[in-house]
Amino acid sequence: MVGLVTGRAYKVSDLFTALLTISANDAAIALTQATGSFGEGMAAINAEARYLQADDTVAVDPDGLDAPGQHTSAYDLALVARQALKLPAFLTYDQTRSARFVVARRKAVELYNQNSLLTTYPGAVGGKIGWTSAAGATYVGMATRHGVTPVSYTHLTLPTILRV
């Protein structure tokens, strides 16, 4: 969590930065609600999953934490990541190494990207780390080698290269 304050307005770009650098769950909820309502936002998320043919995905909460009825697959995460690679704005947020986030008038926090592979893995383009009780540690990552950018999904220590 980045520490959002109820009733305060935030820039969508700042919320995306918090979401993709530190996995700010409160930013995910705020972005979902920004569609008009939480329900409308969740409907949009699930509609996008259907559009991408991510048929193993049902989103109940936007933060990706465990929730009854919520599920996805490594294949679907790769589909979403492949789509994200096409969006320059996504890459800008995802590749942000650090940023200042103004939480309230007199409070700001520094955000540092939790994806250490961005600075340690040659050719790293981006990715997203995650952890839930049900899934354990996960990572969806992208790196470019010889002009090719495969999407890798790692669950614990078992890497799987998915060609989508």
Strands 136-143 and 98-104: unpaired
d(CA 65, CA 104): 26
What is the per-residue pLDDT across 58-77, written as a single tens digit (0 to 9) for each?
999 999 889 999 999 888 98
Per-residue confidence band for 154, with pLDDT thresholds at 50, 70 and 90 = low
pLDDT, tens only, 102-144:
999 899 999 999 988 888 888 888 888 888 888 888 888 888 8
As a whole-number percent, the residues of the chain with pLDDT over 70 amount to 91
What percent of the chain lies above the pLDDT cut of 90?
57
pLDDT band at 162 (very low <50, low <70, confident <90, very high): very low
Residues 6+ apart with CB under 8 A from 112: 21, 22, 97, 98
